[in-house]
């Protein structure tokens, strides 16, 4: 039988040409980049026949490849950061990136809070820093084509080491402010040492009207007895194709909470790959997605209970207006040795109009026999009785709907410990609802 060769799309050809031009100019090891791009090339852009991308066909969506952004001038970076609004009112250590490049002069690396150490990734790649050996800690992520593209093209980012209790939140601010479409590939590595605790804020913003193509990866390695609170906001521009990956490796007796709030971009896919590598660890991963118009929002999750006696909770809430499309794909994996696992995953979608759609695909892969695992998925409309109750007391229909939507999304947001971040997230929900009204 003759081999079947899948023809390359114009976007795949453009990516190959861009990589050939850039691979020797980018900092770091050319061989490791080439290996990552070769893995990507073997499969190409994922499409609907690839099970993990069944509902988000990147081959169909990514028709043209935007050029990778160059570093902004100091004035351009300053203006971009001043215009950015996501979580802007939350007191935190700002670690900004503009057009995919670390704004070095905005952070005094010699006067960081006690227990915080930051190394610019471009410098680390050029010098072969020891911490680079800890990149790619999760195999589920490293086998992913979106992650492989980031590895191939990553030009900048930071590596952060946390030791002890850090009271000041660290805010990773990603802003794309180019007037025309650009692509970015940033990589963040956060090393949370044994017994340390930290709050990480992460916001992604870009200008409206430009088909920006960010592909950002955040990797967090949390040691034993750590406490990490992670809050992420997608406020990308209305034409952006936003790809993002969160890879987690969490040690024993640790607490890790993460939430991703989506209000922006034309098409987005946020991937979470988590490995619970030590016993008695508690993981919570939540999502709150608000879609309108023709937006497409994909939340994909893989949680591997690689050690016994761990607990995970995943709750994803999606609100869909107009003709938008939501996607949730979640998988909990329990190997045979991970006895006493407790894992529960839930996706709930609220359809505000008849034109919207939601695709749910929760899965369990269980090879142990002493576990408690469950998953569920629901889709529905606003409760007509509750809506009538509120309107009967004088509320206009849109206000009554807004109150019910806030209550629906609030369950995913309320666990955020940092009061300022929690209030800002509630403000994001209220802003989306106000724009709808």
The CA distance from 419 to 429, in Å, is 16
| The pLDDT of residue 6 | 62
User: Domain coordinates of the chain in residue numbers?
Assistant: 69-383, 384-437
CB atoms within 10 A of CB 92: 20
| The pLDDT of residue 283 | 98
Among 222, 231, 330, which Cα is nearest to 276's? 222
- What letter does residue 257 receive in the DSSP assignment? E
Report the DSSP pairing between strands 197-206 and 325-334. unpaired
| The pLDDT of residue 7 | 79
Which three-class secondary structure state does DSSP give residue 139? helix
| The pLDDT of residue 5 | 56
| The pLDDT of residue 436 | 83
Which residues in 24-123 belong to E strands, given as ranges? 93-98, 101-102, 116-120
Q: 158 has which bridge partners?
A: 120, 188
| The pLDDT of residue 280 | 98
The CA distance from 218 to 53, in Å, is 20
Question: HSE-up of 237 (CA within 13 Å, CB side)?
Answer: 21
The CA distance from 262 to 205, in Å, is 11
Exposed/middle/buried for 152, CB within 10 Å: 0-12, 13-18, 19+?
buried
Task: pLDDT tens for the chain, 437 residues: list them.
Answer: 455 556 789 999 999 999 999 999 999 999 999 999 999 999 999 999 999 999 999 999 999 999 999 999 999 999 999 999 999 989 999 999 999 999 999 999 999 999 999 999 999 999 999 999 999 999 999 999 999 999 999 999 999 999 999 999 999 999 999 999 999 999 999 999 999 999 999 999 999 999 999 999 999 999 999 999 999 999 999 999 999 999 999 999 999 999 999 999 999 999 999 999 999 999 999 999 999 999 999 999 999 999 999 999 999 999 999 999 999 999 999 999 999 999 999 999 999 999 999 999 999 999 999 999 999 999 999 999 999 999 999 999 889 999 999 999 999 999 999 999 999 999 999 999 998 87
Does pTM surpass 0.85? yes
């Amino acid at each position: 039988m003759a081999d079947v060769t899948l023809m390359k799309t114009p976007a795949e050809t453009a990516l190959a040409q861009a990589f050939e031009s850039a691979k020797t100019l980018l900092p770091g090891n050319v061989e490791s980049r080439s290996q990552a791009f070769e893995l990507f090339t073997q499969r190409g852009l994922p499409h609907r026949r690839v099970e993990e991308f069944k509902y988000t066909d990147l081959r169909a969506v990514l028709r043209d490849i935007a050029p990778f952004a160059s570093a902004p001038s100091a004035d351009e970076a300053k203006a971009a950061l001043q215009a950015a609004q996501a979580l802007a009112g939350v007191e935190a250590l700002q670690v900004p990136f503009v057009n995919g490049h670390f704004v070095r002069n905005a952070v005094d690396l010699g006067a960081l809070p006690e227990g915080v150490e930051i190394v610019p990734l471009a410098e680390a790649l050029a010098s072969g820093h020891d911490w680079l050996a800890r990149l790619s800690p999760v195999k589920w992520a490293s086998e992913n084509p979106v992650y492989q593209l980031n590895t191939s093209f990553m030009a900048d980012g930071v590596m952060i080491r946390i030791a002890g209790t850090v009271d000041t939140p660290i805010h990773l601010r990603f802003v794309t402010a180019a007037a025309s479409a650009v692509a970015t590939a940033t990589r963040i590595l956060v090393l949370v040492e044994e017994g340390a605790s930290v709050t990480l804020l992460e916001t992604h913003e870009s200008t409206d009207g430009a088909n920006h193509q960010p592909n950002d990866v955040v990797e967090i390695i949390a040691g034993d007895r750590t406490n990490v609170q992670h809050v992420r906001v997608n406020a990308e521009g209305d034409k952006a194709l936003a790809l993002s990956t969160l890879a987690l490796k969490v040690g024993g007796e640790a607490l890790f909470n993460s939430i991703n709030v989506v209000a922006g971009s034309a098409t987005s896919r946020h991937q979470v790959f988590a490995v619970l590598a030590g016993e008695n660890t508690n993981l919570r991963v939540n999502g709150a997605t608000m879609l309108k118009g023709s937006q497409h929002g994909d939340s994909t999750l893989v949680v591997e209970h690689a050690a016994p006696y761990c607990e995970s909770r995943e709750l994803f809430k999606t609100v869909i207006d107009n003709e938008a499309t939501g996607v949730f794909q979640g998988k909990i994996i329990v190997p045979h040795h991970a006895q006493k696992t407790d894992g529960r995953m839930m996706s709930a979608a609220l359809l505000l109009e008849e034109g919207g759609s939601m695709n749910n695909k929760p899965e369990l892969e269980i090879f142990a026999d002493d576990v408690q695992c469950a998953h569920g998925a629901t889709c529905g409309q606003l409760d007509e009785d509750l809506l009538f109750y509120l309107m009967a007391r004088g509320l206009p229909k849109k206000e009554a709907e807004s109150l019910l939507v806030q209550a629906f999304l609030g369950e995913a947001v309320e666990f955020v410990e940092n009061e300022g971040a929690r209030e800002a997230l509630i403000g994001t929900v209220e802003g989306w609802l106000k724009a709808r009204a």
